[in-house]
Chain A
Amino acid sequence: MQYLERRASMELSPIARWATNLLRIALAVLIPLIAFFILYQGFLFLRAGNASKGTITVIAIVWGVGGVAVLYWVFNWLVEQLPIYWTTRLQPFVFVGPAMAILAWYLFLPTLRTLWISLFSKDGPPGVPLSLLFSSPGEFIALQRAQFVGLGNYVAVFTDRLMREAFRNNIFFWIGIATPLTVIFGLLVAVLADRSKFERFAKAMIFMPMAISFVGAGVIWNFIYEVKPVGSPQIGLLNAIVVGLGGQPQAWPAYTAISPWNNLFLVIIVVWLQTGYAMVLFSAALKGIPEEIIEAARVDGANEIQVFFRIMVPSIRGTIITVTTTVIIFTLKIFDVVWVMTGGQFGTDVIATQFYRQSFIARNSGYGSAIAIVLLIAVIPVMIYNLRRFGEQEAF
């Protein structure tokens, strides 16, 4: 097709060729302009928000998804209008460029910016125009210096009492207790389901909490922990059991007398939510173990416990490591459950709730950013491991 078009244009008179080229250039300018204009109008319409909720929802979806598709189409069309030499060189950037631009804007640059902000006091680096650096560098540096605190925020992060509590909870309760429990329950369910009569049903039910939000799970478990005054009927399951056994009803996650062990009542929620994830991965890995190996071990007289520890666990070691790291990364960033259940009170603060409180409630961005950087540093080993594994791949 394109080839024929080119031939056709070659056979035209020089004036006609100029005219078509001119038309092409005009179109090349016009089509993107029209596209941008329409998209911008859509944006204004959505921001005004005058229409009914349903209409806005539908238009927002069409505008957002359609807009992205249109942008790709327009840019690709533009590049394809160029001589073939330029098309082959530029087209990859039409395909890969937007993704890279968004990654740079949303993840890569923010990492550097957060690092920079974390070196400054409360409001972060002063909003001085960069042009000042060139017109009068001395003044620029003086302004920056007034707010600069160096590693002061980091010193505070590691010495503050609330942060120490957050570190303790993240490391001891979330990584130390929630992670192994998730892995153990996931493995237990995967092994049991594999031999049970209702494998699909059991797995679907254990997996189901994965579809529930942390806020929703918070409500579900708040209802289980609900406390009523002594004497009136307990509507929360846990307190009903406790009272039935002759105990005192308590608001368990907020029960400071047992602090820090009240964290366990939040840990239970996350184990409930995440076991399904571990189970799915373990289940797939267990199905990958050749049946003959297990049968051979049984014939040799190994009992089920030996089969499990001597054959199954070593065979799925890789999966166990993967699941454990994923859950650790996840629990490191744990926020929603704690925020909804206790708001980080009663000794349940974690790094992410501290980050949120410092950055967005206390408006102390320097300190908040330092906390975010600490989170980043904690995942760097995993990042290096991923990169090393990628480096071994042949595809690149």
Chain B
Amino acid sequence: MKSSRAQRIRGILLVNGVLLLLVLIWLIPVIGLLVSSFRDRFDIQTSPWWAIFPHRKWEVVEKIDPRAQGVDASGPMTIHGVTATFEELRAGVTTPDGQRLQWIGNRRIGTIEVQDKVWAVNWKFTLDNYKQVLQGKTFVYTREDGTVVNIPGDNFYGALLNSVAVAVPSTLIPILIAAFAAYGFAWMNFPGRRLMFVLVVALLVVPLQIALVPILRDYAALNLNGTFLAIWLAHTGFGLPLATYLLFNYISTLPRETLESAFIDGASHFTVFTRLILPLSVPALASFAIFQFLWVWNDYLVALIFLGGDRNFQVVTMRLAAIVGDRGQDWHLLTAGAFVTMVLPLIVFFSLQRYFVRGLLAGSIKG
């Protein structure tokens, strides 16, 4: 009896321990990004982000001028009771009492630092990275050696507005169109109904790459390239099969009696749809809305092709990818920029997670 209890406790510990480890592994990349985005740009480059945790670090307590000590740097030298060559000192030599000696600078005019190992935390946080990324403000830094550096920022604020202007209609338009179609398929009778729905099901898994070249040609002919309308329609087209399929599955299961009594009262299809079906379908509409919103907000390929190179219309993913390409070492911009692109989807995601999960489960019938 006792051994089985010990076994159970071990089991519980194992389950929770492994899971906690996995959660940590999943979280660390995001935490590293978030912490770094609040760190000073020089700190990001010179120390790892986990330096915010207490760690042991060498700190200079004394500087010795080797020439004043009268040592000869070309051979072994004895300082603070340690004998070492220049090369060894350059790499750092530990003294018997736990200090470290390090030669800084070149052989002739360098100094020797005496360092103590101390506990340290690097807790210098700033909002400058965000200001720089959002406002496109140029920051002027003066380095320790007196040189002045101009660091241009990036205009994420405009890209954020573009992303909103792209994502909101690209979410609502397909929902509206798909809801009308789903209602038509579920509650109306017309020739070609089955064939049309077969088309919807068949198009569920068609890769959107197949459409890019012809649609780009159409847009060029219609002079639509680089307009919001172009990208709304594209996202609508690519999201429509799944939207119609999901909404049909939901709307076709609504109780028949409710609708029939409305028709007897003389309501038209349009009234029944807007007054009855749409309000009843809110859970399904919300599921797809979150799905589509996250997909459009995070989309890179479709925006890249239809919004093109015009910087005024770039969405956040394009802006971020452009910084990765042009200034891939500017971690102060990249970390803050990445977090700016993530904030809105994360809020939507965590506040409406329930609907999102429901949509995933319903959509999993696909593929």
A residues neighboring B (CB under 8 Å): 1-3, 43, 46-47, 49, 53-54, 56-57, 60-61, 64-65, 68-69, 72-73, 76, 80, 89, 91-96, 98-100, 102-103, 105-111, 113-114, 117, 124, 185, 188-189, 192-193, 195-198, 201-202, 204-216, 218-224, 226, 232-237, 240, 272, 275, 277, 280-281, 284, 304, 319, 322-323, 325-326, 329, 332-333, 335-336, 339-340, 352, 355-356, 359-360, 365, 368-369, 371-373, 375-376, 379, 382-383, 386-387, 390, 395-396
Chain A positions within 8 Å of B199 at CB level: 100, 103, 108
Query: In the complex, A280 Cα to B312 Cα: how many Å?
Result: 38
A368 to B211 alpha-carbon distance, docked (Å):
11
Q: Does B77 contact A (CB under 8 A)?
A: no
Q: Tell me whether A280 and B180 are in contact (CB under 8 A).
A: no
**Which of chain B's residues has its CB closest to A325's CB?**
B367
On whether the beta carbons of B16 and A76 are closer than 8 Å, the reply is no
Which residue of chain B lies nearest to A194 when distances are taken between CB atoms in the complex? B15
B349 & A210 in contact (Cβ 8 Å cutoff): yes
In the complex, chain A residues whose CB is within 8 Å of the CB of B360: 277, 280-281
Contact of B211 among A46, A65, A100, A107 (CB under 8 A): A107
Are B48 and A375 interface neighbours, CB within 8 A? no
Partner of B348, one of A91, A211, A224, A237: A211
If A220-B338, A352-B209 touch, does A65 touch B173 (CB 8 Å cutoff)? yes
Q: Are B346 and A110 in contact (CB under 8 A)?
A: no
Inter-chain contact B184/A96, CB cutoff 8 Å: yes
Residues of A within 8 A of B200 (CB): 103
Known: A46-B228, A326-B367, A386-B204. A209 touches B26 (CB 8 A): yes
In contact, B228 and A395 (Cβ under 8 angstroms): no
Q: Return chain A residues, CB-CB under 8 Å to B269.
A: 91, 95
Q: Which residues of B contact A (CB under 8 A)?
A: 11-12, 15-16, 18-20, 22-23, 26-30, 32-33, 36, 44-50, 158, 161-162, 164-165, 168-169, 172-173, 176-178, 180-181, 183-185, 188-190, 193-194, 196-215, 218, 227-229, 232-234, 236-238, 240-241, 244, 252, 266, 268-270, 273, 294, 297-301, 305, 312, 317, 320-321, 324, 328, 331, 334-335, 337-338, 341-342, 345-346, 348-350, 353, 357, 360-361, 364-367
B190 smallest CB distance to A (angstroms): 4
A65 surroundings in chain B (CB, below 8 A): 168-169, 172-173, 176
A284 in complex: contacting residue of B28, B190, B345, B361, CB < 8 Å: B361
Instruction: From A57, A92, A196, A220, give the contact of B19 (CB < 8 A).
Output: A196
Report chain B residues within 8 Å CB of A272.
Answer: 26, 29
Q: CA of A36 to CA of B349 in the docked complex: distance in angstroms?
A: 37
Residues B342 and A387 in contact, CB atoms below 8 Å apart? no
Chain B binding site: helix, strand, loop or mixed by DSSP? helix
List, in ascending order, chain B residues with CB within 8 A of A192's CB: 15, 18-19, 22
On chain B, the residues within 8 Å of A280 by CB distance are 357, 360-361
- Inter-subunit contact B30/A220 (CB<8 Å): yes
**B48 close to A326 (CB less than 8 A):** no
Q: CB distance B205 to A379 under 8 Å? A: yes
With contact pairs A215-B320, A323-B364 given, residues A372 and B210 touching in the complex (Cβ less than 8 Å): yes
**Which A residues lie within 8 Å of B213 (CB)?**
110, 113-114, 117, 124, 359, 365, 368-369, 372
Q: Residue B206 contacts which of A107, A188, A197, A368 (CB distance < 8 angstroms)?
A: A107
Bound-complex Cα distance A218 to B337 (A): 12
CB pair A211 B342 closer than 8 Å:
yes
Least Cβ–Cβ distance between B230 and chain A, in angstroms: 10
Q: How far is the CA of A124 from the CA of B213 in the complex (A)?
A: 10
Inter-chain contact B342/A46, CB cutoff 8 Å: no
Q: Which of B215, B218, B348, B364 has the most CB of A within 10 A?
A: B364
Q: Which residue of chain A has the shortest Cβ distance to B226 in the bound complex?
A: A47
Cross-chain contact of A215 among B189, B244, B270, B317 (Cβ < 8 A): B317
Residues of A within 8 A of B215 (CB): 106, 110
Contact of A98 among B33, B164, B177, B234 (CB under 8 A): B177
Return B214 CB to nearest CB of chain A, in Å: 4
The reply to whether B177 and A205 contact each other, CB–CB distance below 8 Å, is no
A68–B177 CA distance with the chains assembled, in angstroms: 8
Chain B contacts of A326 at CB under 8 A? Answer: 364, 366-367
Partner of B22, one of A43, A189, A207, A208: A189
In the complex, which residues of chain B have a beta carbon less than 8 angstroms from the beta carbon of A395? 252
- Contact A106–B297 (Cβ < 8 Å): no
State whether B202 touches A386 (Cβ < 8 A).
yes
- In the assembled complex, the CB of B157 is this many whole angstroms from the nearest CB of chain A, namely 8
CA A237 – CA B50 in complex, angstroms?
A: 9
B27 CB to nearest A CB, Å:
6
Q: From residue B301, how far is it (CB to closest CB) to chain A in Å?
A: 6
Residues from chain A with Cβ under 8 Å of B342 in the complex: 211-213, 216
Instruction: From the candidates A72, A214, A339, name the one contacting B298 in the complex (CB within 8 A).
Output: A214
**A386 nearest CB neighbor, chain B only:** B201
Q: Which 8 A-B pairs have the closest CB atoms?
A: A106-B237, A95-B184, A213-B298, A99-B181, A64-B169, A211-B349, A92-B190, A110-B211
Which residues of chain A come closer than 8 Å to B312, judged between CB atoms? 49
Query: Is B346 a contact of A106 with CB atoms below 8 Å?
Result: no
> Given known contacts A95-B183, A107-B237, A379-B207, is B190 in contact with A193 (CB within 8 Å)?
no
Task: Say yes or no: A189 contacts B188, CB within 8 Å.
Answer: no
- Closest chain-B Cβ to A187's Cβ sits at a distance in Å of 12
Q: Which of B189, B213, B301 has the most CB of A within 10 A?
A: B213
- A-B CB contact pairs (8 Å), 16 listed: A57-B161, A61-B164, A80-B268, A95-B184, A95-B188, A96-B190, A100-B181, A102-B237, A106-B236, A198-B19, A202-B23, A207-B353, A219-B33, A220-B338, A340-B324, A386-B367
User: How far, in angstroms, from A57 to B162 measured CA to CA in the complex?
Assistant: 7
B33:A220 contact, CB within 8 angstroms: yes
Given contact pairs A106-B238, A212-B345, A281-B361, enumerate 9 new A-B contacts (beta carbons under 8 Å): A47-B227, A64-B228, A98-B181, A99-B240, A100-B199, A212-B346, A220-B29, A223-B32, A368-B213
